[in-house]
């Protein structure tokens, strides 16, 4: 059956209730933000942050994340197009790496002004994020975006992509599953630290840096299976690969540096 026979190139583009038509993507996207935001607020308050400060923190995560998502996507396209063609142009869309960067910048400014430890605050914030991502990727599946390349692999699914239905890598589901595994890994690390009697183990910010390491590694890997990836810049690597690799190296480098600093501090006491 062709895309024309199905009447749409999307899996489930809209939810129709009477005369009301709502984009499935934005419904699921909103659900992901709601679930993630509620969990972050609960964790902030449970850790002793006042409800007012916690509310502002969650709002800044959402606002900073949305701004970063759309700006990042446009800037990446601009840089990529400038390198490949020498032309300056802007494209719409959003990217989670930009959302993460935007939320980080907003929270650094806010929590510094509140006198709250950044490492501890970031550990509290980041744990629910991959759960929200896992939900959000289902919106991508419904909308037919972030699709995989055609494949003969046994894991292939008949899915739309750029106006064509084909057996593709289910990259949306692959990302969603990986996000769930990352979520459980972060919860396990946090609970292990609490059993040792420490809220931030082995140092404040470890859970956040663990997340960024795992997320960028996942993003780097899944990019090889995407069907709408940017053109290569260095060998088989495109701009997304390079950004994810840079994020991974920085995160791992900071983990190693902080572990060494913590070990030196313990030996000195």
- Of 25 and 217, the structure prediction assigns the larger pLDDT to 217
Q: Is the pLDDT of residue 124 over 60?
A: yes
What is the residue range of 22's domain?
3-268
- Tell me the pLDDT band of 174, cut-offs 50, 70 and 90: very high
Average confidence (pLDDT) over 168-176: 97
Phi-psi region of 164 (alpha: psi -120 to 50; beta: other; left: phi over 0): beta
Q: In a 3-state reduction of DSSP, which class is residue 105?
A: helix
Phi-psi region of 151 (alpha: psi -120 to 50; beta: other; left: phi over 0): beta
Q: Whole-angstrom distance between the N-terminal and C-terminal Cα of the chain?
A: 70
- What is the DSSP code string of 47-89? TT--HHHHHHHHHHHHHHHHHHHHHHHHHHHHHHHHHHHS---
Phi, psi of 122 (to 5 degrees): -70, -35
Mean pLDDT of the chain: 87
pLDDT in tens, 205-249: 999 999 999 999 999 999 999 998 888 889 999 989 999 999 999
**pTM assigned to the model:** 0.87
Per the structure, how many domains does the chain have? 1
pLDDT in tens, 38-84: 999 999 999 999 999 999 999 999 999 989 888 877 777 676 666 66
Query: In angstroms, rounded to a whole number, what is the distance separating the alpha carbons of residues 259 and 254?
Result: 8
Note the pLDDT of residue 230. Answer: 83
């Amino acid at each position: 059956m062709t895309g024309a026979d199905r009447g749409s190139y999307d899996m489930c583009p809209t939810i129709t209730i009477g005369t009301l038509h709502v984009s499935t993507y934005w419904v699921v996207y909103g659900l992901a933000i709601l679930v993630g935001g509620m969990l972050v607020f609960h964790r902030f308050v449970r850790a002793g942050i006042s409800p007012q400060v916690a509310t502002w923190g969650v709002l800044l995560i959402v606002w900073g994340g949305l701004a970063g998502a759309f700006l990042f996507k446009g800037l990446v396209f601009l840089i990529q197009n400038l390198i490949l063609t020498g032309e300056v142009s802007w494209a719409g869309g959003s990217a989670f790496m930009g959302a993460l960067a935007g939320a980080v910048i907003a929270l650094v400014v806010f929590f510094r002004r509140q006198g709250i430890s950044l490492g501890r605050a970031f550990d509290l914030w980041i744990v629910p994020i991959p759960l929200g991502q896992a939900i959000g990727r289902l919106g991508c599946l419904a909308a037919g975006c972030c699709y995989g390349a055609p494949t003969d692999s046994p894991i292939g699914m008949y899915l739309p992509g750029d106006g064509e239905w084909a057996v593709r890598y289910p990259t949306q589901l692959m990302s969603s599953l990986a996000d769930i595994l990352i979520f459980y890994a972060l919860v396990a690390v946090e609970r292990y630290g609490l059993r040792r009697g420490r809220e931030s183990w082995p140092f404040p910010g470890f859970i956040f840096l663990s997340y960024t390491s795992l997320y960028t590694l996942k993003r780097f890997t899944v990019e090889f299976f995407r069907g709408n990836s940017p053109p290569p810049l260095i060998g088989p690597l495109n701009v997304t690969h390079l950004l994810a690799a840079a994020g991974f190296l920085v995160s791992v480098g900071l983990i190693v540096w902080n572990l060494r600093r913590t070990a030196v501090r313990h030996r000195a006491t």
